Structure 1
Amino acid sequence: MKIKTGRQEPAGNKGEHDDEPLTPTARLFTAPEFNCYITAVIGLKSKIKRDVFIEGLEQTLLKHPRFSSILVNDNSQEQKWVRTKVVAEDHVIIPKIELENANADAFLESYVSDLTTIPLDTSKPLWEVHLLDLKTSDAQNVVVLKIHHSVGDGMSLMSLVHACTRKTSNHEELPSLPNENRLSSKSMAGYSRLIWMVMLVWNTLCDALKFIATTMFLKDTDTPIKGDFRLSKADVFGSSYQKFPRLFNRTVDLEDIKLIKNAMKMTVNDVLLGVAQAALSEYLERRYGEKEKKAGEHESKRNSSNMLKEIRLRACLLVNIRPTTGVQDLANMMAKGSKCKWGNWIGYMLFPLSLALHDDPLEHLRRVKSIIHRKKNSLQVLLTFTSTKILIKMLGVVALTMHFQSYMNKMTIYLTVDPTAICDPHQLCDDLEESLRSIKAAVQERNATQ
């Protein structure tokens, strides 16, 4: 069955934007059991002018191949991106907001959560923009982007958003981003490089074996944050699926995280992982303690602490494996086409969380640093990139995901939860904030005694 796409090939550019088949990762994101979206919230300091915003879209995003293509199945059932004529107004949604006495932040949280349960119209390019005339605690107006994950991954989309903006000091100039300094193996001495290569092979082999064991039989312990994996596909993707997921967020000071990072000689990501591990330990200890109290057991604090040590719980850490793409490359892609890599270039590593209640909260950071340092010297991420389908079979329906996004000296933590498993997500947000405070206090105390 032929599909009319309204495709118009510019004169002289025939073949420049041929139909493209979906990559294996993009096909995974469109699978019914893993239909995945990216939702981003952008706060603005001034009112949104609809006509100006739409004009900006026409000059930027609408010229990008993925944002001007629809997803179709040809006669051989192969999914392809097919260019089409895009009407910007069809992708811009301006809801009527009546707050009355409602809290604006709570309204935004509920709005974004509800948005995740509504599928995109597949007869159009798979993205939409919501303009909210809503004054929150952080912004005068809010823009919500909803993009299907098959279009691209988070890193490429954040870079693309930057490429659609201009400097406030010069409206004709693209924003500049800091360069990333990475240690190259070529800079190592011969002997050190040999040791590095031996360890790389050994760590990769160990990680590959652990990955195979995980997919075959080494399952995580059933915990409140694992969710109910006995749900049938009809339950998960039928009417009951509309009950979840729900989104919650908490914003903390990025300077606190940098202080810990510098004191412990770690990265920001290492600190965040340590804070998450400490918070999950506190959260699960409380959940198990409450369960034991209801059962009438004594010494619930001690029993629940012992339970934590027996839990096998692993996090799936997504890692960007794309060579660094500059803002200018993406701007060129929208202007005249570019050879910069687009799409989903993400692998993942399995990280064993060490759940425990330590007298010294810095112990969480030390364990994270040790494990991450070893995993960085491994090719596990590249291996998992080529076997992404196993992710679904291994993880099933995920009850909890955490996203960390820094901007303007703030770090916002977003939780996506299944409320049937995690009934008190605000408490988990509190645990994350408290864990950061306790780790910061421990660092300051250690520095004061040195």
Structure 2
Amino acid sequence: MGRSESEVERDEPLTPAGRLFLRPEMDQIIHCAIGCKYPIDVDALRSEIAASVMVKHPRFSSLMVRDRRGREHWRRTTVDVDRHVIAVSDPVGDSAAGDEEAVNDYAADLAVSSPLATDKPLWEFHILRAHDCMLLRIHHALGDGISLMSMFLECCRRADGSDRRPSIGSVGASERTDVGGRRRGWWMVGAAIWWTVVFVVEFVLRTLWVRDQRTTVSGGAGVELWPRKLATAKFQIDDMKTVKKAVSHATINDVLFGVISSGLSRYLDIRSPKALREGLQITGVAMVNLRKQPGLQELSNLMSGNSGIRWGNKFGMLLLPVYYHQGGSDPLQYLKRAKAMIDQKKQSLEAHFSYKIGHFVMSCFGPKVACWLNYRIVCNTTFTISNVIGPKEEITVVGNPITYLRVNNTSLPHAITMHMVSYAGRADLQIMVAKEIIPDPQVLAKCFEEALLEMKEAAVAATKE
């Protein structure tokens, strides 16, 4: 059936990033597990969603349609909330498993070959009543982690009874103040040019043929279709801050990547002892927010054309190398190496280059070529890592206090994908793995937790000296 001219005029084209995430090879759905303190009132939740800003937002109230040339568009529609709220009354997964393991198993099952229906807007809530948990599924074409976290928090309130919206901390930026005169300014410009050239060349080579040496944690083409397992590494933000203070100008992101480096080295020692050479490089793909203002913004700012902040997907990619090292006498060496490498990345324009080149390729050559390039980068590296900052204080949804927020994506060719979200003084790292390659993700999670605690002990000892 043909469409009227008025319908065509109202349709809004998808952004290049949105079109990329709809390709079968890169089809990405974000899963946000929301633990609740009390049993969930499904009817009250439906009413809250129906009255929320979510169903009024253009992305959340539009169908994804294709024109005669196969180009994707958004078309506004009426949201039937009942079709988006899926109540699961019976326990999921192994009956002997605890709530956390059951929810992780449910999310892992959805991570492979479980697309969202295209005859309704691309989001839905799964209510796991037996486990006091909601699983929010949102297609990545609707927005990135910053946009979607802002949307979710607009629907929440603080748990202290003040009926105020949650507040968001900084994203862990360094407190350093740049001093010096014109000489320092020229030096920074020169360093930016140098590191940009170095990292852009490396990025291009990674896209074409350079790849990580294979290890026991390597994925590859087709691995996105393999069954998944999901485990959670739990950190205390205060522990990460203690470690951060041990190294001048370090950030929480530096600490996180130091923990990843140490934890992966520990895990490789368990899986393949004496089979790896010292200093072996394992490369991660990190997603970096490119919006001008740091931190999360209120939804009104994200939707405002005058704020300078655009809704949707605006992030670049960084290639972050991890080097395998056997355990040494100073656990803080992992943080120092991570900080030195990330400082170089910050000086460069690698993330902006990856975003701009992706936009250019999509606009000039179409989603098939852009998808092939992104797929190649993932196949030639070893893991994915992202970090989204959440609310500082405890929050409620429909008056029900939230006990945890955890995020993961649907599967990629990587055998390991990791997503960290902070919430009320804690940080949970969701570790999704291809279970035929990494059958014991709980062991990997333990390696990360022990790495942070060991760094904390070293940091405390250093302050006493």
Normalised TM-score (structure 1): 0.83
Q: Deviations over 1:294-327 (max 9, x none)?
A: xxxxxxxxx33xx242633211111011233887
Cα distance in structure 1, aligned partners of 2:71 and 2:332: 51
**For 2:219, what is the secondary structure of its paired residue?**
coil
Mapped contact 1:201–1:378 kept (Cα < 8 A): yes
Mapped contact 1:330–1:338 kept (Cα < 8 A): no
Alignment of 1:10-409 (within 5 A): 18-58=10-50, 59-98=52-91, 101-117=96-112, 118-135=114-131, 141-168=132-159, 173-178=164-169, 189-229=181-221, 231=222, 241=225, 243-265=226-248, 266-289=250-273, 303-304=274-275, 307-309=276-278, 311-324=280-293, 329-331=298-300, 340-359=309-328, 360-388=330-358, 389=370, 390-396=373-379, 397-409=413-425
Q: Which protein has the larger Cα radius of gyration, Structure 1 or Structure 2?
A: 1
Mapped contact 2:29–2:138 kept (Cα < 8 A): yes
How much has 1:158 moved relative to structure 2?
A: 0.7
Gaps of 5+ in 1: 8-14, 136-140, 290-302
**For 1:27, what is the secondary structure of its paired residue?**
helix
Which structure dedicates a bigger proportion of its chain to strand? 2
How much has 1:81 moved relative to structure 2?
A: 0.9
**For 2:316, what is the secondary structure of its paired residue?**
strand
Larger RCO (alpha carbons 8 Å, 6+ apart): 2
Gaps of 5+ in 2: 359-369, 380-412
CA change 1:96–1:47 in 2 (3 A) is: closer
Q: Which residue identity lines up with residue 34 of structure 1 in the other structure? A: M
How much has 1:433 moved relative to structure 2?
A: 1.3
Cα distance in structure 2, aligned partners of 1:186 and 1:371: 19
Q: Deviations over 1:261-286 (max 9, x none)?
A: 12223111111101110111111122
How much has 1:376 moved relative to structure 2?
A: 0.4
Mapped contact 2:293–2:309 kept (Cα < 8 A): no
Q: Which moved more, 1:72-81 or 1:41-50?
A: 41-50
RMSD value over aligned CA atoms?
Answer: 2.9
Cα distance in structure 2, aligned partners of 1:214 and 1:313: 13
How much has 1:187 moved relative to structure 2?
A: 8.2
Cα distance in structure 2, aligned partners of 1:48 and 1:337: 38
Q: Which residue identity lines up with residue 256 of structure 2 in the other structure? A: L
Between Structure 1 and Structure 2, how many residues are aligned?
A: 411
Normalised TM-score (structure 2): 0.81
Mapped contact 1:400–1:416 kept (Cα < 8 A): yes
Mapped contact 1:174–1:328 kept (Cα < 8 A): no
How much has 1:402 moved relative to structure 2?
A: 1.1
Q: Which residue identity lines up with residue 443 of structure 1 in the other structure? A: A
Q: Which residue identity lines up with residue 288 of structure 2 in the other structure? A: V
Mapped contact 1:250–1:412 kept (Cα < 8 A): yes
Alignment correspondent of 1:431: 447
**For 1:352, what is the secondary structure of its paired residue?**
strand
Q: Deviations over 1:222-262 (max 9, x none)?
A: 11211254x4xxxx67xxx3x42322112222211111012
Cα distance in structure 2, aligned partners of 1:356 and 1:402: 21
CA change 1:338–1:76 in 2 (3 A) is: farther
Cα distance in structure 2, aligned partners of 1:429 and 1:326: 27
How much has 1:217 moved relative to structure 2?
A: 3.0
Q: Which moved more, 1:165-174 or 1:360-369?
A: 165-174
Quote the sequence identity (%): 32
How much has 1:328 moved relative to structure 2?
A: 6.9
Mapped contact 2:147–2:302 kept (Cα < 8 A): no
Cα distance in structure 2, aligned partners of 1:157 and 1:379: 25
How much has 1:204 moved relative to structure 2?
A: 0.6
**For 2:246, what is the secondary structure of its paired residue?**
helix
Cα distance in structure 2, aligned partners of 1:427 and 1:256: 21
